[in-house]
Structure formats: structure tokens, C-alpha cells
């Protein structure tokens, strides 16, 4: 796979696998677990690149200010496509605003 060069401010989508009895409205690829009590599903997380560490790890920020360290070659990470940028613009901008407020405080 070709390595993507992420930069601070890039809008990214991280696909997170989850398990529960009640998948949320943003869940997709829903599948029942073998015993039928729970479901596994995927939720697309819309995050912004806050920083690129010296070791190449990406620091991603959510719209509520949580930070996640992710390898740039993680198979669940990709750039947001044009449709996602248009559809979820407000959520990406909220994450970017949270990041800019955090850096202004430092």
C-alpha cells in the first residue's frame, strides 16, 4: 500500500470496529455475533490531524477534544473523500476548531 503523507489540518476518516447489543444510527457493516446476543459493526470516526510526531505517528483530534495516536499506514485510516467533506463539513470544522483552541492555550 502506498504511504500517504498526512499533514496537520488534514480531515481523515478512521474506521473503528465496535461490539454491542444495539448498534447506533451511524453503524454499518452490521453482523450478528456467533451466539446472537451482540453485533459487530463499523463506525466511521471523523477526525482532524493535530500533529505528526517525530516517529511518524499521527495525533488525531475529535470534535470533543479527545486525542488518538495512530500509525499513518493503519489500514483503518484514510483521507476524507469529497462527499464526506461536504456532508460532514460541520463535524470536521468542529474538530479543527477544538484543535486550534487547544494550540492557542499553550
pLDDT of 1 higher than 60? no
At 102, the pLDDT band (50, 70, 90 cuts) reads low
Residue 92 counted as domain residue: yes
Domain housing 69: 11-105
Give one DSSP letter per residue of 4-44, joined into a string: P---TT-EEEEEEEEEESS--TT-EEEEE-TTSS-EEEEEE
Burial of residue 58, with CB atoms counted within 10 A of its CB: 0-12 exposed, 13-18 middle, 19 or more buried: buried
Task: Tally the C-alpha atoms within 13 A of residue 86's C-alpha that lie toward its C-beta.
Answer: 3
Residue 99 counted as domain residue: yes
- pTM of the full structure: 0.82
Residue 1 counted as domain residue: no
Residue 77 counted as domain residue: yes
Number of separate domains in the chain: 1
pLDDT digits (tens, 9 = 90+) for 48-96: 999 999 898 999 999 998 999 999 999 999 999 999 999 999 999 988 8
Residue located via cell numbers 495516536: 69
Amino acid at each position: 500500500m502506498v504511504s500517504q503523507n498526512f499533514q496537520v489540518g488534514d480531515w481523515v476518516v478512521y474506521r473503528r470496529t465496535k461490539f454491542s447489543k444495539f448498534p447506533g444510527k451511524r453503524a454499518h457493516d452490521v453482523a450478528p455475533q456467533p451466539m446472537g446476543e451482540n453485533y459487530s459493526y463499523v463506525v466511521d470516526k471523523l477526525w482532524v490531524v493535530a500533529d505528526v510526531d517525530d516517529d511518524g505517528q499521527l495525533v488525531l483530534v475529535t470534535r470533543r477534544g479527545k486525542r488518538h495516536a495512530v500509525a499513518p499506514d493503519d489500514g483503518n485510516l484514510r483521507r476524507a473523500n469529497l462527499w464526506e467533506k461536504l456532508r460532514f463539513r460541520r463535524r470536521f470544522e468542529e474538530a479543527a476548531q477544538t484543535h486550534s483552541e487547544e494550540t492557542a492555550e499553550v
